[in-house]
Amino acid sequence: MKRIEWNRLDADARRACLARPGAGDQSEVEAAVKRVFEQVRADGDTALRALTRRFDGAELAAFEVTPAEMAAAIATVPASLRAALAEARERLLAWHRAGMASEFEVDTAPGVRCGRLLRAIPRVGLYVPAGSAPLVSTALMLGVPAVLAGCDEIVLCTPPRADGSADPAVLAAAELCGVRRVFKLGGAQAIAAMAFGTESVPRCDKLFGPGNRYVTAAKQLAAMMAGGPAIDMPAGPSEVLVIADAGAPPVHVAADLLSQAEHGPDSQVVLLTDSAALVDAVEAEVRRQVAELPREAIATRALEFARLVKVDSLDEAFAISNEYAPEHLILALREPRAWLGQVSCAGSVFLGDFAPEGLGDYCSGTNHVLPTNGAARAWSGVSVASFQKSISVQEVSRAGLAAIGPCAVEIARAEGLEAHAQSVLRRLENVR
């Protein structure tokens, strides 16, 4: 872990200090993803079998999980985990329902009525990672809003295990959400399959889900293809930033940092505090706790990119945080809600000493599919609206055309678009 005195750094050193792991040259990743896309586009399922053998070590005759296979797998999931997934699903439903957009109509002028229609995206593709650990909760986080939105078809891809099976808990979460089509596919090849469509995998209109650098690059490449699918957001390696004051319990702060460090070696964790004593205490606590973790080796590698930053004031900490735009922002402060107005860029915010990031990952009700790598400056986390399209509608009467037509003509001619103006004028001739 790197200890840093923020106000001893110049502008270049500050940028370097908060650079994400792997934020440099991505050419090798992009080149590898392009090769995968070319293979899948050209050879479909044949390419998927070869790539699955190469990257996952699994031999698959068929990719889609059959109903019998799903039922048998779910039967092996402990009842306690199935109950926890059902409990988490209920809170996700409550939160997502409360935030759903609605259709509306409004008279913008006498005789001019404008409105908004909401329509579900017909076919969506969900990606649930299962590399070093199966992200069971991601199946809930994506499945719940997709079903609430009313998508006609939901396709879920998750990497196979070496024996060719899908993780049973991922299947249980998918089934709980009502997701019936699950494919044993991972990595960039799963994204390519959902982007192009193959003999087995349907082509999807929009792709969702987090992943490593290869998955993120694959989603971005898919979105750039002519006629390609949309994507939810750039969602790569996980990260957390903690803003803490002198009263924050070091044991909690250290645990929060490690909860993200264990995701993968390219995760990043950052502490901003105005207390030098807290930096000392958190550093010692991280070293103690990491040695107790089953994923100690992964977390230790991620801690090479950890930053323990001493700032002069909490105001300065919030300015740094907004520039960094973290995926997860924890306010380990005595009056956290009083500082919420200073937050402008973050994926999800956790207030106080009793709101660990782990609750948001699993069961508080908010969605954990969030923008990373600074994308929170412009992107939001997944919601029901992510799975919907908004379509505007206008209805105009004769009186309405007479009232606002001249306005349109004036603006059209200012733009030099006379045909636009004539489309209005030829109608105005019939209403005068």
Give 184's contacts (C-beta < 8 A, 6+ positions apart).
52, 58, 60, 63, 64, 65, 157, 158, 159, 160, 164, 165, 166
Contact 84, 78 (CB under 8 A): no
Give 165's contacts (C-beta < 8 A, 6+ positions apart).
69, 73, 184
Report H helices in 99-247.
Answer: 136-149, 168-177, 187-196, 213-224
Contact 333, 339 (CB under 8 A): yes
252 is in an annotated binding site: no
Q: What's at 68, amino acid-wise?
A: A
Among candidate residues 391, 390, 388, 360, the one with its CA nearest the CA of residue 148: 388
245 is in an annotated binding site: no
Phi, psi of 362 (to 5 degrees): -125, -50
Q: Which two tokens stand for residue 350?
A: 């956790």
Among candidate residues 219, 152, 114, the one with its CA nearest the CA of residue 389: 152
321 is in an annotated binding site: no
Catalytic residue among 96, 328, 357, 368: 328
25 is in an annotated binding site: no
422 is in an annotated binding site: no
238 is in an annotated binding site: yes
Report H helices in 186-331.
Answer: 187-196, 213-224, 250-261, 276-290, 296-302, 314-324
The neighbouring-strand residues paired with 58 are none
Phi, psi of 30 (to 5 degrees): -65, -40
Is 328 catalytic? The answer is: yes
- What are the distances in angstroms from CA 220 to CA 30, 255, 327, 349? 10, 32, 18, 26
Is 327 catalytic? The answer is: yes
Contact 91, 363 (CB under 8 A): yes
30 is in an annotated binding site: no
CA angle 371, 185, 379 (to 5 degrees): 10
212 is in an annotated binding site: yes
Q: Which two tokens stand for residue 275?
A: 């207390």
CA angle 189, 237, 163 (to 5 degrees): 45
Catalytic residue among 175, 239, 262, 327: 327
Phi, psi of 401 (to 5 degrees): -60, -45
220 is in an annotated binding site: no
The neighbouring-strand residues paired with 307 are 2, 270
Q: Which two tokens stand for residue 246?
A: 């002198």
361 is in an annotated binding site: yes
Question: Which positions make up the binding site for NAD(+)?
Answer: 127, 189, 212
Question: Which positions make up the binding site for substrate?
Answer: 238, 260, 263, 328, 361, 415, 420
> Where in the sequence numbering do the catalytic residues fall?
327-328
Question: Which positions make up the binding site?
Answer: 127, 189, 212, 238, 260, 263, 328, 361, 415, 420
